Structure 1
Amino acid sequence: MRVFKFGGASVKDANGVKNLVKVLQEVGHENTLLVVSAMGKTTNAMEKIVNTYFEDNAACTEVIREVITYHNSILTELFSNNQHPIFKQITDLFNEVRGFLAWNKSPKYSFVYDQVVGYGELVSTNILSAYLNDIGIKNNWLDVRNFIKTDDSYRDAHVNWETTQERISKDIDRSTLNITQGFLGSDDNNFTTTLGREGSDYTAAIFAYCLDANSVTIWKDVPGVLNADPRYFEDTQLLNKISYREAIELAFYGASVIHPKTLQPLQRKEIPLQVKSFLNPKNAGTVVGKGIGIEPEVPCFIVKKNQVLMKLSSLDFSFIVENSISELFKMLHDYKMKVDLIQNSAISFSVCVDNRFDRLQGLLDELKGRFKVVCHENVSLYTIRHFNSAAIASLQNGREILLEQRGKETVQLVVKQ
């Protein structure tokens, strides 16, 4: 059994869907489960629907129409018969979105977000499944919400592994090509939940773990895992092999190719992860597995933009010690801040966070009652694994460094953007 994950870039238009078929024809599709994301930038478009619903409800109709038009253009290129059942299926799915927004009474943004945004994946997988069936590649469409069960932490749900394992083991036919959605699950009340942005990689790992798959392949528009994001760095290099441990470190620090949660279930069963190009499917790409180390051993650069650096100091010059730090972390947890870096001295504490849920102001109001607070918004956090002096110098050049932290193998710099 193999698990393939295709992201939004791979199915952004009709040609992308046709190229996905070409990949399957080149590498085979027997005993395979496909995890597929929303098409192109659809997740962003669905988020816009949610934001419009809360900010200007009357404008929702037009925003939804834009998303429908985008998908209809793909449909008309893939299916010559506009009476094909897929057209009604997609219309029905978007009518479900309209229906939910009409009857919803919940004021909770995260709940509404999960009920709406996941339709991007439901639409993309229905289109792909219908197209594959049309061209003679028989497949089984699965609603992932019937298999991955979670708690009700909307937008960042935690998997109920026991129930998920039971459902996947019992109800999936391993002998056929299966197609399902990334990113989604459902809670005990069968409301849709999401696993966090870019959670489709994690979905693939969950299925691989529960199916005892031979491998997981993430198909990207890059050759594999690079030592830096080519959008921000020049002269990037392909990493041929990476150990689970190294890949988890890279993911933790924010490497965008692999989702941070993806590697843990794969490591537990030693299921190898391959990251390959859907443009050149026969190329080797990158293999992540047991005890491989990193090859070639070169500095790896990671950047996280739009971070927040807070520097706290005690008002009365008292020490910031265990009790104070414990209370600080409780506040960071309560305000759902993702901590990316910490540094403390006797009377100061610095923390770089990702303000994922836009709750910074509330946190600052609470902190300022107890500490002197200096806050730098929209900073960048650079991380270099396996650094050398030349690598550090390349980042320091011309930038204002707000904070620096070094370990044996890793250096981190917070700089003004």
Structure 2
Amino acid sequence: MRIFKFGGASVKDAAGVRNIVKVLETVGYEETLLVVSAMGKTTNAMEKVVRDYFDEKADHLAALQEVIDYHHDILKELFPGVQHQIYARFKELTDEVKGFLAWNKSPKYSFVYDQVVGYGELISTSIVSAYFEETGIKNTWLDVRELIKTGSDYRDATVNWDRSQQNITSRINRKVLNITQGFIGSDDNNFTTTLGREGSDYTAAILGYCLNAESVTIWKDVPGVLNADPRYFQNPELLHEVSYREAIELAFYGASVIHPKTLQPLQRKEIPLHVRSFLQPEQPGTVVKKSKGISPNIPCFILKKDQVLLKLSSLNFDFIVEENISEIFRMLHDHRLKVDLIQNSAISFSVCVDNKFQQLPELFEKLKSKYKVTSYESVSLYTIRHFNQEAIDSLQNGKEVLLEQRTQETVQLVTRETKG
């Protein structure tokens, strides 16, 4: 069985949905399972619904209406001149969101987030499934929440592999085209959970692992895995082949093409991961498999923006030893700050973190009671795998390097823009 994952960019409009049909006609869809993300920027739009709800904005449903109008426009293009049953299904799903927001009593942001935001995937897959049926492509729509079971750690749920394996094996008919959602699962109480942003890739890997898939393919708007993000770097090059180990290293450092959690389950069963272009489905793209290094062997650039660099030193010039470092990491964990780089000396400790959960101010207060703390916000973390001096020099123009760290294959630079 093959697993195909289509992200939001591939279904951002009616033309995108039609194009998926062309992709399937090109590469075939027998014994295939599609994992489909929310359409376009729907996840961002649903996040705004949650923010407005917690900000107690009287018109928080206005943000939801924007989501409804966006999908209605797509529906009218895909099903012109007919009152297709998908309209009733779409209304049912959006009414469920409105109902939840009306009766919800939970003050927990992450819980509410998961119950609301995941509807983007339920809506998109319902529309894609209905359009396939309309064009003669028979398929089975599956609710992934009945397949992937997780803990109750909302917004970053941990998969219960044993229960998920049992559900997936027993409920999926391998002989037909199946369509399901990425990003979401459910806990023991059947509340929706999410696997973290960009978690649809992870969903595809979970399903691939549990089904012993022949392959997993991520369809994107780029030719494959590039050695740099084209949004930030000029003239990126296509990597034709990447080993599991190298791909995991790139993902760990923040390469945006592959989700960090996606690769481990595939590596365990040596299931190849293909990254291909839905704009050029006849092209082979990149394959991640059991091999050595990358081909071609060139520097790979990764950028993480809007990071925070913290430099800690002891108040009385004592050494910062294991006990201190353990305490600092416990604080970082408790405040859900993801550590991207660390560096320490006898009396100082530097750490570059991602503050996506916005808990930095609380951490500051605790750290300042024990350490002298200097912080640099809105810094950039550059990572270069297989670096050379030319690659390093290309990053330093117009930037102040606040911290540099090198290993045999990797260099990391924390920088901020120089003024004027």
- Report if TM-score (shorter chain) is over 0.5: yes
Once residues 59 and 196 of structure 2 are traced to their aligned partners in structure 1, the CA distance between those partners, rounded to angstroms, is: 26
> Shift in Å at residue 108 of structure 1?
0.4
Partner of residue 354, structure 1: 354
Counterpart of 2:13?
13
Between the aligned partners of 1:284 and 1:138, the Cα distance in structure 2 is: 26
For residue 280 of structure 1, what is the aligned residue in structure 2? 280
Distance 1:267 1:406 in 2: 27
| Alignment-mate amino acid for residue 143 of structure 2 | D
| Secondary structure of the structure 2 residue equivalent to 1:333 | helix
1: CA distance between counterparts of 2:79 and 2:144? 25
Residue of structure 1 equivalent to 2:42: 42
Structure 2 counterparts to residues 10-409 of structure 1, below 5 A: 10-409=10-409
Measured in 2, the distance between the counterparts of 1:335 and 1:27 equals 46
Query: Which residue type is aligned with residue 201 of structure 2?
Result: D
Secondary structure, counterpart of 1:261 in structure 2: coil
Deviates most, 83-92 or 253-262: 83-92
- DSSP-derived class of the 1:346 partner: coil
Structure 1 distance, partners of 2:242, 2:59, is: 48
1:217-258 Cα deviation digits (max 9, x unpaired)? 000000000000000000110000000000000000000000
CA-to-aligned-CA distance 1:59-81 (integer Å, 9 cap, x gap): 11211111100000000000024
Measure, in 1, the Cα distance between the counterparts of 2:82 and 2:403: 58
Partner SS, residue 341 of structure 1: strand
Shift of 1:56: 3.1
Q: TM-score, normalised by structure 1?
A: 0.99
Secondary structure at the residue paired with 1:400? strand
Please tell me the root mean square deviation across aligned C-alpha atoms, in Å.
0.6
- Equivalents in 2 of 1:104, 1:391: separation in Å? 52
SS, match of residue 411 in structure 2: strand
Alpha-carbon contact 1:21-1:132 (below 8 Å) kept: yes
Give distance in 2, aligned partners of 1:368 and 1:181. Answer: 44
Stretch of structure 1 that moved more, 308-317 or 54-63? 54-63
Q: Distance in 2 between matches of 1:243 and 1:193?
A: 31
One-letter code aligned to 1:245: R
What TM-score, normalized by structure 2, do the two folds share? 0.99
- Distance in 1 between the 2:216 and 2:78 partners? 28
Identity rate, percent: 70
Secondary structure of 1:381 counterpart = strand
Q: Letter of the aligned partner of 2:76 in structure 1?
A: T
Report deviation, 1:396: 1.3
Contact kept in structure 2, 1:241 and 1:292, CA below 8 Å: no
Q: Secondary structure at the match of 2:291?
A: coil
Structure 1 residue ranges without an equivalent (≥5): none
Q: How big is the shift at 1:293? A: 2.0
Aligned residues: 417
* Regions of 4+ moved over 6 Å: none
1:292 Cα deviation after fit: 3.7
The answer to whether the 8 A contact 1:49-1:63 is kept is: yes
Paired with 1:122 and 1:292, the residues of 2 have a C-alpha distance of 39
**1:163-218 CA-partner distances (Å, limit 9, x unpaired):** 00000001100000000000000000000000000000000000000000000000
State how far apart, in whole Å, the 2-side matches of 1:131 and 1:96 are: 22
Q: Distance in 2 between matches of 1:56 and 1:398?
A: 43
